[in-house]
């Protein structure tokens, strides 16, 4: 057992809550789009569900940042997981209320309801994730943040992508509602783990100056720290490109790779294996290369997996490509998250993190819509398979453009390059 987990009970509980919460997220990452394909195979409808899942990061990131700095972060995480438990049960009710093979207006209302539930679940995720990332520096010494973030990323990858997707495939094969019932139970366990954490008392909160003034204080800070703002903008582009591909990945696995639900889960697990390895190795890589060089390596490698998916029809090679994509993403995240947690004052951490995620995660719903619509618009002219592959080619081009932007504009201060 790693020393930090063994020695720090509060971190152990936080990591447990994160692991179980991400196990539920990993099950939902497969179960939601797969359920949508059981209703319709229209890529635009799938894009709507993916859009609804990520739209809360665009709508709520900024206000949630203010609320996170004001509120009890522990209670915020517990309540968010309980809310997601109830929403998972609502998806079960939707499945039981609808026909097994919906069509016409029935399919429309089922997709609309599924999108609404995905939106609400994404809203709860915004609250939980922002509170969790903001709370970590109060439980772990700043000198061990890379170690803590690496271990949390490993746990999240193991549970959310290594265990969750194939488990979801097995549960769907058992019964379509089964993964959502399991989700509800796991969210309850995550809420319990966070509730057991003994958070240290926070310092006296600064006097409240009004919601908009407090939000503006966070915006003023991030504008004065140009590197963090640039990292947020680059992350927004990276996440938009990723979501464009991920939105159609379920169709890619079905129609090009010929996979069922369990096979698709294993494909996602291959990507998660890269995240697990990345969580263990990337803190060492970042220490060896330095933060700046680590970011250049990550940006330079990011176009390659999508470019490979554009060309391949081999399931094993596709799994390897997803492995590389996730490992590289973890390298980026370990460096940038630790840098933010070290640089941002605690009293502003919730707000600045929220602004960062507004740029970084707020672009994900737009990427999801773009993925579905690129395929839908190109299909009449070049055929369904080529239109599906085109989404990955466009994503690779976006990754390449972001590498050039970073090479030209991003300059980490000397202190951050150690």
Q: Where are the domains of the chain?
A: 3-197+210-417
CA distances from 242 to 50, 92, 144, 393 (A): 12, 28, 29, 11
Range list of H helices, 71-142: 73-97, 104-135
pLDDT, residue 415, reads 46
- Average pLDDT on 251-261 reads 92
pLDDT, residue 355, reads 82
Sign of CA dihedral 330, 332, 335, 336: negative
pLDDT, residue 373, reads 93
Range list of H helices, 256-363: 261-289, 291-301, 303-311, 315-343, 346-360
pLDDT, residue 402, reads 94
Q: What is the pLDDT of residues 320-355, one digit of tens each?
A: 999 999 899 989 888 887 787 777 877 777 778 778
Helices (H) and strands (E) in the chain, counts: 17, 0
Q: Under CATH, what is the fold of the domain 3-197+210-417?
A: Growth Hormone; Chain: A; (1.20.1250)
Question: DSSP label at 200?
Answer: P
**Which of 268, 238, 240, 241 has the alpha carbon at shortest distance from 253?**
268
* CA separation for the pair 333, 330 (Å, rounded): 5
* CA separation for the pair 69, 140 (Å, rounded): 18
Q: Which residues make Cβ contacts (< 8 Å) with residue 70, sequence separation at least 6?
A: 205, 208, 214
- For the CA atoms of 253, 271, 298, 416, what is the dihedral angle to 10 degrees? 140
Winning range, highest mean pLDDT, from 147-156, 209-218, 336-345: 336-345
Q: What is the pLDDT of residues 367-413, one digit of tens each?
A: 999 999 999 999 999 999 999 999 999 999 999 999 998 888 777 66
Q: Which residues make Cβ contacts (< 8 Å) with residue 8, sequence separation at least 6?
A: 139, 140
Task: Indicate the pTM of the whole model.
Answer: 0.76
pLDDT, residue 239, reads 93
pLDDT, residue 318, reads 97
Sign of CA dihedral 57, 63, 69, 75: negative
pLDDT, residue 408, reads 83
Q: Token pair for residue 35? A: 């359920």
- Average pLDDT on 171-178 reads 90
Task: Report CA Rg, the chain.
Answer: 20
* CA separation for the pair 27, 170 (Å, rounded): 10
Q: Token pair for residue 3? A: 């020393």
* CA separation for the pair 5, 183 (Å, rounded): 25
Look over the chain and give the mean of its residue pLDDT values, rounded to a whole number. 85
* CA separation for the pair 162, 269 (Å, rounded): 4
- Given a contact cutoff of 8 angstroms between Cβ atoms, the answer to whether 239 and 360 are in contact is yes
- Given a contact cutoff of 8 angstroms between Cβ atoms, the answer to whether 39 and 339 are in contact is no
Sign of CA dihedral 77, 79, 85, 90: negative
Q: Which residues make Cβ contacts (< 8 Å) with residue 355, sequence separation at least 6?
A: 61, 62, 65, 218, 219, 222, 232
Determine what percent of the chain is predicted with pLDDT higher than 70: 92
Q: Distance from CA of residue 347 to its chain's centroid?
A: 25
């Amino acid at each position: 057992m790693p020393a930090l987990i063994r020695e720090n009970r509060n971190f152990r509980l936080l990591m447990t809550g994160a692991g179980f919460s991400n196990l539920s997220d990993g099950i939902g990452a497969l179960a939601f789009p797969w359920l949508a394909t059981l209703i319709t195979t229209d890529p635009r409808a799938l894009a709507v569900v993916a859009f609804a899942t990520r739209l809360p990061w665009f709508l709520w990131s900024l206000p949630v940042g203010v609320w996170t700095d004001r509120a009890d972060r522990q209670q915020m995480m517990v309540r968010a997981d309980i809310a997601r438990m109830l929403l998972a049960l609502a998806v079960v009710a939707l499945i039981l209320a609808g026909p097994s093979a919906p069509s016409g207006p029935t399919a429309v209302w089922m997709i609309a309801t599924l999108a609404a539930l995905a939106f609400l679940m994404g809203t709860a995720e915004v609250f939980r994730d922002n509170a969790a990332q903001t709370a970590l520096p109060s439980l772990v010494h700043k000198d061990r943040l890379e170690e803590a973030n690496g271990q949390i990323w490993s746990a999240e990858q193991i549970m959310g992508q290594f265990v969750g997707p194939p488990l979801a495939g097995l549960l769907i094969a058992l019964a379509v509602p089964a993964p959502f019932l399991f989700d509800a139970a796991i969210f309850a366990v995550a809420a319990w783990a966070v509730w057991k954490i003994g958070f240290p008392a926070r310092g006296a909160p600064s006097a409240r100056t009004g919601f908009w003034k407090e939000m503006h204080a966070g915006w003023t800070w991030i504008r004065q720290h140009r590197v963090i703002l640039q990292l947020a903008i680059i992350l927004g582009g990276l996440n938009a490109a990723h979501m464009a591909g991920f939105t159609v990945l379920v169709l890619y696995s079905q129609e090009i790779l010929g996979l069922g639900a369990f096979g698709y889960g294993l494909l996602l697990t291959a990507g998660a294996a890269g995240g697990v390895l990345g969580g263990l190795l990337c803190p060492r890589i970042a220490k060896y290369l330095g933060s700046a060089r680590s970011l250049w390596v990550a940006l330079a490698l990011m176009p390659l997996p999508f470019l490979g998916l554009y060309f391949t029809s081999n399931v094993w090679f596709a799994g390897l490509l997803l492995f590389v994509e996730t490992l590289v993403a973890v390298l980026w995240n370990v460096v940038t998250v630790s840098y933010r947690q070290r640089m941002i004052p605690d009293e502003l951490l919730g707000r600045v993190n929220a602004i960062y995620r507004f740029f970084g995660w707020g672009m994900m719903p737009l990427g999801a819509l773009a993925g579905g619509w690129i395929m839908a618009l190109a299909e009449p002219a070049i055929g369904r398979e080529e239109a599906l592959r085109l989404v990955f080619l466009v994503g690779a081009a976006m990754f390449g453009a972001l590498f050039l932007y970073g090479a030209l504009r991003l300059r980490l201060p000397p202190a951050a390059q150690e």
